Amino acid sequence: MECEREVRRRLREAGQEQLLRFWDELGSGQREGLLGELRLLDARELRDHCSRAQHAYERESSAPQRLDDRMRPVPAEFMGSVRRSHPEERRAWEEEGYRQISQNKVAVLLLAGGQGTRLGVTYPKGMYNVGLPSGKTLYQIQAERILRLQRLAGDKHSVQCTVPWYIMTSEFTLDPTQRFFEEHNFFGIDRADVVMFEQRMLPAVGFDGRAILERKDKVAMAPDGNGGLYRALADNRILEDLEARGICYIHVYCVDNILVKMADPMFVGFCVSKGADCGAKVVEKAYPSEPVGVVCQVDGVYQVVEYSEISPDTAEKRNPDGSLTYNAGSICNHFFTLDFLKNMAGTLGERLGYHVAIKKVPYVDEEGNLVKPTRPNGIKMEKFVFDVFQFANNFVAFEVVREEEFSPLKNADTADKDTPSTARRSLLWQHYRWALRAGAKFTDAEGCAIEEGSRVSEAEDPPVICEISPLISYFGEGLDLHLSKKEISSPFILDVQKV
């Protein structure tokens, strides 16, 4: 078989012949499937990938490089803030953002290629229901925010406008995501405005530098990280689609943040007003040793410094006013111009380095038995979406309030943070605060009034469970009409069907 001979030749050239060691035991369908997968692997790229992974693992095993003496915080003139910037500035930024949205110049791009392994599910995270009274999934919440935002921007400028939604998936998430959207009629969004595309996959590599077989007829593959975005934009001609629609600005975010403010007009307007080609939303670190990356400068170049790359003394360092010096916690929420993305999809993107993730990768042993390891045994190589900050001509950061905009869903409820329970509570507390500001009156199960001051800890559910549909309010606006002096008892759902 000519195809088999060619694949074998390429594997020998890459030093990865072991991937066909069970060939004689496979049926014709299994052989064709394996060959189809291996045909996609260029010999030189496969050899370089496996060698790079092995060497990166060896470096990772040594002491991490410290960056303390080379770091500087983001200069104040390149930092905006929801809390610290002047109200007039914030209003001007928001108006500018709405103006750009009304002119169909803004798109959102969702990073949704990862598996929900830590969450303990076998389907894409966006399909997850955290247990809200409405039963809405992350995908539905985000879709409804887009619909509401389009209406707000259109009403402000007396036009009809569209915020197209690009969704980067992977081999694992593309098909189920497509089916889910089709089953739910794209949640009311015009299907032409939802563009799904797939990022590349890379083989998982053993500590010996050999690619891993997860079955006799399948290589263990993993998405190339959210930094695979830039190559995927070129692979799938997404840049051409953006340009054809007249898009100038793209808001990029991760699927698992239940509080994400889609195409946030204030953030977009801030970045546009500053002439930025690249921007990042950040939140104030909860405490000095919080294990989050920090947006800062290293040798004068912007990047995200991981908590493992700085000493405790640097993490504790404070400004004269008592605030942490390195306080800009990264939340994977970014602004890019289309021109910047074009540059990153070209030669600049090839200069991005890989990061090492040491994982437990199921594999078949030499006898062909499936093994589910109890200890890490494999290397997955990833690029990170924020590694492009270094190439920005004009980088800015924008600080937002964690309680209003950041609550990630990463772990099962057996963990102590970033779980379905914490995500659900974050949203319900947000809606409770919105309802209070709108003048709602809360009552308990017996109909007795609950005083505003009788708050419980936000580690628990709010006194009254109140869920507000994004179709009613994008970010707390316009609720007086629905909630002022209205008596609310648990559970209360404010949605379009009830208005």
Identify the helix (H) or strand (E) that includes residue 423.
Answer: helix 420-437
DSSP 33-58: HHHHHHHTS-HHHHHHHHHHHHHHHH
Q: How many residues does the chain have?
A: 499
Which one of 375, 405, 435 terminates a domain? 405
> Is there a single domain that holds both residue 345 and residue 435?
no
Cα 234 to chain centroid distance, Å, stands at: 20
Which one of 377, 405, 433 terminates a domain? 405
CATH of the domain at 233: 3.90.550.10
Q: Which of 112-126, 146-160, 229-243, 399-413 has the lowest mean pLDDT?
A: 112-126
Domain-located, residue 416: no
> Is there a single domain that holds both residue 77 and residue 49?
no
Task: Count other C-beta atoms under 10 Å from residue 97's C-beta.
Answer: 26
Task: Count other C-beta atoms under 10 Å from residue 482's C-beta.
Answer: 16
How many domains, in total, are found in the chain? 3
Give the pLDDT confidence score for residue 156 in this predicted structure. 98
Give the pLDDT confidence score for residue 109 in this predicted structure. 98
> Is there a single domain that holds both residue 81 and residue 163?
yes
Write the pLDDT tens digit of every residue in 232-281.
999 999 999 999 999 999 999 999 999 999 999 999 999 999 999 999 99
Domain-located, residue 413: no
Write the pLDDT tens digit of every residue in 245-254.
999 999 999 9
Domain-located, residue 491: yes
Domain-located, residue 354: yes
Two tokens at 19? 């991937």
Which one of 359, 379, 405 terminates a domain? 405
Domain-located, residue 410: no
> Is there a single domain that holds both residue 344 and residue 484?
no
**pLDDT exceeds cutoff 90 at 215:** yes
Domain-located, residue 411: no
Identify the helix (H) or strand (E) that includes residue 271.
Answer: helix 265-273
> Is there a single domain that holds both residue 87 and residue 7?
no
Task: Decide if 462 contacts 420 (C-beta within 8 A).
Answer: no
CA separation for the pair 253, 352 (Å, rounded): 19
> Is there a single domain that holds both residue 44 and residue 156?
no
CATH of the domain at 453: 2.10.10.100
Q: What is the DSSP letter of 471?
A: T
The H helix count followed by the E strand count for the chain is 14, 24
Write the pLDDT tens digit of every residue in 122-148.
899 999 999 999 999 999 999 999 999
Which whole-number Å values give the CA distances from 256 to 130, 293, 445, 464, 488, in the listed order?
Answer: 11, 17, 33, 25, 29
CA separation for the pair 268, 334 (Å, rounded): 10
Two tokens at 183? 């089953």
What pTM, to 2 d.p., does this model score?
0.93
Spatial CA neighbour of 398 closest among 257, 256, 268: 268
Please identify which residue in the block is written with the tokens 């994977």.
Answer: 332
Domain-located, residue 54: yes
Two tokens at 40? 């996609």
> Is there a single domain that holds both residue 44 and residue 75?
no
SS3 109: strand
Write the pLDDT tens digit of every residue in 409-433.
999 999 999 999 999 999 999 999 9
Domain-located, residue 207: yes
Which whole-number Å values give the CA distances from 464 to 336, 361, 435, 479, 498, in the listed order?
Answer: 39, 44, 10, 17, 18
> Is there a single domain that holds both residue 305 and residue 430?
no
Range of the domain at 472: 421-498
